[in-house]
Chains A and B, each alone.
Chain A
Amino acid sequence: MDSLVPLFVIIPLGIAFIIPLIWQVTRGVFRFLPGAGMLAMAVLAFFMLFNLGGESIVYKVGGWEPVNNIPIGIHLVADPLSLMMLIIVNMIGLFAALFSIPYIDKYTGENYYYSLFSLMVAGMNGVVLTGDLFNMFVFLEVSVIASYSLVAFGSSRDELEASFKYQVLGGIASLMILFALAMTYWYTGTVNIADASEIIRSGTGTGTAIFIQLFLLTGFGLKAAMIPFHAWLPDAHSSAPSPVSAMLSGVLIKAIGAYAILRLFFSMFSLSIEIGYILIILSVLSMILGGILASGQWDYKRLLAYSSISQMGYVIMAAGIAMVVLVRGQDAGIAALAMAGGLFHMFNHSIIKGLLFLNAGAVEYATGTRNLKELGGLASVLPITSATSLGATFSIAGIPPFNGFFSKLIIIIAAVQARLYLLALIAVIMSIVTLAYFMKVQRHIFLDKVKSARFAKVREVPWLMSLPMVVMAIMCLVMSIMIIPGVRDTFLMDAVNALLSIK
């Protein structure tokens, strides 16, 4: 089983670079290659998760064994948390790739699209698997450079401007991360995460460690678009082609933003109450301001992008609560509960937001606009899109029995148990605000009366576009089974234990 680990990087990279060679001779079959690869990887990740039973694999690339217990060479670490992230990345990637096949038809240069798409997935898979700081930086750059060009794929005015903004802020973030990495190497003499964590935790130079942590927090905060660093996200996520938006909002900001924050701050540095409070403050700002800004939007995809900022606030808040609880020395069970809620919400949000962006893409594909003021009355002409969108709305607003309700409930219970009552209150209020602005979407797009005669001949989207939406809408309901104890233990609690290292 060990030798299966590098396949998660080999398969998407191979697909990405074989498409430019064969796309002319395959007569369109190459469009299905990325989807097929991601299906294989998602199945493989499931298989490994069930067979590992909470253990983790450390895979040494190139067969370089440690010398005197000092690791040399790059390590890939497949623990339950990374496998869970791999499942998310490849599953959403599969749905977005299928959705792309009719959607990207109108653009030129399809071959480049599928290459870049696979490259982005390869980068994300690498980021979640690697156990080496510099390797993480390289994979991160692979995925974000692919995403920069995917955002600019239509090369219209909006898309170019959004991509430029995204590149400048993303570039600053990458350089901050590289600076933190250089500082880490200067301070510890290693770039292996496990090795660096031993040196940092036993060391005396807390000033240096805090300096590194602040740089990392700024860098990954920019990548995850926490509120003071969010300026690029609404532009980039709303301008990109819809399947790419689904990938960016659904997985990219989680894999290279939230996951990296969780992994580095919980597994590498010693926990400190200051970082916990900074995480909580950033997340509360994100939740409140993201929600308020989303309410005022009239562009469907822009509203969804702001909503992503708000929902990512829940995930980071759960991490902050877990860290504060652990540092205060309260019951570790509460920390585990908060972290489980956060990871569960991350999982749910990638499905929900992926689905919502695909809905937005379907609406745009069918009608040619995404302005809420122009649309209306689409429920009768786009029944599948409308129904799946309603499911996603209920789910993200936290209405039982959809999955979003349970993950938010777990986070709120954990906040109450940790005696952070204000945070619980904010989480409840923002959940209601979420419901409010998604009801606005439902009313202006799918209900209401038809406002323009040109929507009269709108047809339901092709089956390749509706199939991913239906499957994801069903998953919104089915994922609720994750709170049943047996399922929760294999799927969620193992990941939490891997992160908090509770045995």
Chain B
Amino acid sequence: MIPYMLCFVLFLVGLYGVLTRKNILKIIIGLCVMEYSLYLFLAMTGYIEGGAAPIIDPANRAGSVVDPLPQAIVLTAIVIGLATTALLLAIAIRLYKKYKTFDIDKINTLKG
């Protein structure tokens, strides 16, 4: 149970980073930390002690294998995370070119 709790703690660490940091890049890193905590959590839900990789092996069909579904989910989530992070970084670069700063307090044309 404790590893699951630690994942949740890591999730909250990332959330704290996103909510309190002022630098755009640190916010993006915070989002990544949140993501990785979820990958860990998902990978752990499918773990079986002593289980092999979930690939059909004609020589050894009797042994127990770990649950493949969370692994597929994690892989898909990694791809989605890649797209999100790339887009965030692209926007961050463009923001830097317009405002010459990464400080979100100085990027504030929209209000109300």
Q: Which residues of A contact B (CB under 8 A)?
A: 134, 138, 141, 145, 148-149, 152, 155, 157-158, 160-165, 167-168, 171-172, 174-175, 178-179, 182, 185-186, 191, 234-235, 239, 293, 296-297, 302
Interface residues of A: mostly helix, strand, loop or mixed?
A: helix
- Are B91 and A163 in contact, CB atoms less than 8 angstroms apart? yes
Task: Across the interface, name the chain B residue whose C-beta is closest to A190.
Answer: B69
Separation in Å of the A385 CB from the closest CB of chain B?
25
Q: Check A161–B110 contact: CB distance below 8 A.
A: yes
How many Å lie between the Cα of A164 and that of B18 in the bound state?
A: 13
Given A160-B98, A162-B110, A167-B91, A179 and B70 contact (CB-CB distance below 8 Å): no
Contact A158 B109 (CB under 8 A): yes
Q: Is the CB of A168 within 8 A of B107?
A: no
A158 touches B76 (CB 8 A): no
Measured between alpha carbons, how far is A164 from B87 in the docked complex, in Å?
A: 9
- A239 lies within 8 A of B41 (CB): no
Q: Are A172 and B31 in contact (CB under 8 A)?
A: yes
* Interchain CB contact (< 8 A) of B84 among A167, A234, A302: A167
A172-B15, A172-B34, A239-B110 as given contacts; A182 in contact with B94, CB under 8 Å: no
Output the least CB separation between A103 and chain B (Å). 22
Q: Does B95 contact A (CB under 8 A)?
A: yes
A182/B41 in contact, CB under 8 A = yes
3 tightest Cβ-Cβ pairs between the two chains A and B: A186-B45, A235-B110, A141-B80
- Inter-chain contacts of B15 with A (CB < 8 A): 172
Interface residues of B in 77-109 (CB under 8 A from A): 77, 80, 83-84, 87-88, 91-92, 94-95, 98-99, 107-109
A168 / chain B contacts, CB cutoff of 8 Å: 18, 27, 31, 88
Known: A168-B18, A182-B38. 7 other contacts (CB 8 A): A148-B91, A162-B110, A164-B92, A172-B18, A175-B34, A175-B35, A185-B73
Residue from A165, A175, A182 within 8 A of B31 (CB atoms): A175
Residues of B within 8 A of A145 (CB): 80, 83-84, 87
8 A-B pairs (CB sep. < 8 Å): A145-B84, A152-B94, A158-B109, A160-B91, A168-B88, A172-B18, A182-B73, A185-B73
List of B residues within 8 angstroms of A164 by Cβ: 24, 88, 91-92, 95, 107
Q: Look across to chain B and name the residue whose beta carbon is closest to the beta carbon of A145.
A: B83
Shortest Cβ distance from residue B8 to the other chain A in the assembled complex, whole angstroms: 8
Instruction: Please tell me if B65 contacts chain A, counting CB pairs below 8 Å.
Output: no
Q: Within the assembled complex, what's the spacing in Å between the Cα atoms of A172 and B11? A: 10
Complex CA gap A157/B34 in Å reads 28
Does B13 sit within 8 A of A, measured CB to CB? no
Q: Chain A residues near B73 (CB, 8 Å)?
A: 134, 182, 185, 191
**Of the candidates A157, A163, A234, which one forms a contact with B99 in the assembled complex, judged by CB atoms under 8 Å apart?**
A157
A302-B70 in contact (CB<8A): no
Question: When the two chains form their complex, are residues A171 and B38 in contact, meaning their CB atoms are under 8 A apart?
Answer: no
* Distance (whole angstroms) from the CB of A299 to the closest CB of chain B: 8
Residue ID in chain B nearest A235 by CB atoms: B110
For the complex formed, measure the closest distance between the CB of A242 and the CB atoms of chain B, giving whole angstroms. 17
Would A134 and B76 count as touching, CB distance under 8 A?
yes
CB A186 to nearest CB in B, in angstroms, measures: 5
Cβ-defined contact, B99 with A185, below 8 A: no
Compute how far the CA of A163 lies from the CA of B35 in the bound complex, rounded to whole angstroms. 20
Q: Which residue of A lies closest to B85 (CB)?
A: A171
B41 neighbours in A (Cβ, 8 Å): 179, 182, 186
Give the Cβ gap from A253 to chain B, nearest Cβ, in Å. Answer: 18
| A182 B95 Cβ-Cβ under 8 A | no
Q: Which residues of the other chain, B, contact A160 by a CB distance below 8 angstroms?
A: 91, 94-95, 98
Q: CA A179 – CA B77 in complex, angstroms?
A: 11
Would you call A141 and B84 a contact (CB within 8 A)? yes
Roughly how many angstroms separate A452 CA and B92 CA in the complex, as a whole number? 38
Q: Are B45 and A182 in contact (CB under 8 A)?
A: yes
Q: Given the complex of chains A and B, what is the CA–CA distance between A172 and B84 in angstroms?
A: 11
On whether the beta carbons of B76 and A138 are closer than 8 Å, the reply is yes
Cβ of B24: which chain A residues have Cβ within 8 Å of it? Answer: 164
Cβ of B112 within 8 Å of any chain A Cβ, yes or no, is yes
Most buried by B among A175, A293, A302: A175
Tell me the complex Cα distance, A157–B27, Å. 19
Tell me whether A171 and B84 are in contact (CB under 8 A): yes
Nearest chain B CB to A132 CB, angstrom units: 11
Q: How far is the CA of A186 from the CA of B41 in the complex (A)?
A: 9
**Contacts A175-B31, A185-B45, A185-B70 hold; do A149 and B87 have CB atoms under 8 A apart?**
yes
Q: Select one of A155, A172, A174, A297 contacting B112, CB under 8 A.
A: A297
Cβ–Cβ < 8 Å partners of A179 in chain B: 11, 38, 41
Distance in angstroms between the alpha carbons of A158 and B70 in the assembled complex: 39
Of A167, A174, A293, the residue contacting B87 (CB under 8 A) is A167
CA distance A185 to B112 in the complex (A): 40
CA separation between A28 and B73, bound complex, in Å? 39
A350: shortest Cβ distance to chain B, in Å? 25
